[in-house]
Amino acid sequence: MCRVFLFLFLIIVTASSSVAQTANDFAPFKYMPEIPGALVLDGSLDFRSPLAFRRALQAHPETQLVVLQSDGGSVQAGLLIAEEIHDRKLKTLIPENSRCASACSFVFFAGVGRLAQGQLGVHQISGSEDLESTQLNLSDIIETLSKYDVSSDVITRMLRTPPADIYVFSPAELAALKINMTPEDFQRASLPATQGDSDASLPSYTQEEKAKAFVLGVITASSLPKADLLTLASNIYSDSIAFYGSVKSKSDVLQDKATYADRWPMRSSIVQLNTVSANCVAERCRVNGAYDWRVFDPKRKKQAAGSALFSYEVEMGATLRIVSEEGSVTSRVSARSRK
C-alpha cells in the first residue's frame, strides 16, 4: 500500500496537473484528488504558510494525512503548522526519496501517527543578531517537541548539529528512538516501560557519549528564559556542587544562575564541538571543552560576546546529576547596543 501511495505521490508532485490553481491558492500545500484524505507540503515554509495550511484544511476537512517534502524555512511557521496538526490529530508521512528537514521536522513530529520512509533531518536554529528571538525560538522548540513525546535524544542531536549542517536519522535510529509511531504508540509514549519491553533495539552508548550529550544540552539550554532555566537547573544539579572554586548548595547555585539571568536576560551559547572531550571513571564523568557566548540586556542597552572554557563533572546513573562546574572566559568583547 505504501509503495502504491509513493508511486502516486512522485508522479503527481513532479507533473503539471489540472489542480494548479488549487496548489497556488494553498502554496506550499497541495491537494491531490488522486490521494484521498491527504495534503502535500512541497516547498519552503514562510510567514504565509500557516494561513495557507488552515485554508487548505478548511477547503478539505476530510484531511487525515500530511505528506512532507520540504527543507524547512521559518521556525515559527513550522511550529504553528505543527500545532494545527497536533490539535487536529493528523498523521504525517515522509515518503521514500523525499526529505523533511529543519523547520519541516517540527511538522513531522506533530503527527499523531508518523512515518519517515525518506530522510528526516534536524539541526540547530540559525543564529541571529536578535538574541531575544533566538532565545524564544529555542524555548518554543524544546517545549513543543516535548509535548509531542519526542525523545530527548532526538532533541540532543538537534541541539548539537551546527546550523550549516543537517543530521539525518538512520533507519535504526528511526526505530530505536521511536521516531516512527502509530497512533497507538503515540498514546503510549509517555507511559513507563513495562518489564516485558525489550531494549535490544536501542543503540548502545558509552558513558563518555552519554555525558557529552548531557553537557551539550545543558550549555545550549543556558539560553532559556529565567524561569525555565531555573527549573532545569533544579533537576540536573546535585544537592552539593563544587562550583567555581568553592562548594555550594543547590539553592546557592540556583541563586547564582538567577542573578546572572537577571543581569543578562538574553543569552546564547554555541559549543565548539571539536573541543569536547570526556573521561569517565566508575560512575563519574568529566566533560571539558569550549564554547562561544553572547549576552544582551535590552534595558541597559549593553551586550557582550566571547569564548570560554567549561569543565563539568557528571554523576552517571538512571538520572544524571552535575556535581562539579568550572570554567573560565578566554576572550570577551563588550559594547553598548544601538537599539
**Residues 218 and 320 both lie in one domain:** yes
Total domain count, the chain: 2
Regions in the chain scoring below 70 on pLDDT = 1-25, 126-137, 139, 183-205, 335-339
Instruction: For the chain, give the mean pLDDT.
Output: 80
Q: Is the dihedral of CA 220, 270, 105, 48 positive or negative?
A: positive
pLDDT in tens, 40-71: 999 999 989 999 999 999 999 999 999 999 99
**Residues 177 and 277 both lie in one domain:** no
pLDDT of residue 199: 40
Report if residue 81 sits inside a domain: yes
Report if residue 203 sits inside a domain: no
User: Can you tell me the distance from the alpha carbon of 271 to that of 290, in angstroms, rounded to the nearest whole number?
Assistant: 6
**Residues 11 and 155 both lie in one domain:** yes
Structural domain that includes position 137: 2-188
Report if residue 11 sits inside a domain: yes
- pTM, entire model: 0.55
Cα Rg of the chain, angstroms: 22
pLDDT of residue 338: 52
pLDDT of residue 337: 53
Task: Please say which residue of 158, 188, 218 terminates a domain.
Answer: 188
User: Can you tell me the distance from the alpha carbon of 86 to that of 12, in angstroms, rounded to the nearest whole number?
Assistant: 26
User: Can you tell me the distance from the alpha carbon of 236 to that of 68, in angstroms, rounded to the nearest whole number?
Assistant: 36
Report if residue 300 sits inside a domain: yes
Residue 71: phi and psi, rounded to 5, are -95, 10
Looking at this protein, which amino acid is placed at residue 332? R
Q: Where are the beta strands (DSSP E) in 179-301?
A: 237-243, 246-249, 266-271, 277-281, 284-297
Report if residue 65 sits inside a domain: yes
Q: Residue 80 maps to which CATH number? A: 3.90.226.10
Report if residue 280 sits inside a domain: yes
Task: Please say which residue of 135, 154, 188 terminates a domain.
Answer: 188
Task: Give Cβ neighbours of residue 197 (< 8 Å, ≥ 6 apart).
Answer: none
**Residues 89 and 144 both lie in one domain:** yes
pLDDT in tens, 110-165: 998 899 989 999 988 765 445 556 656 676 787 778 788 888 788 878 877 888 88
Q: Residue 242 maps to which CATH number? A: 3.10.450.50
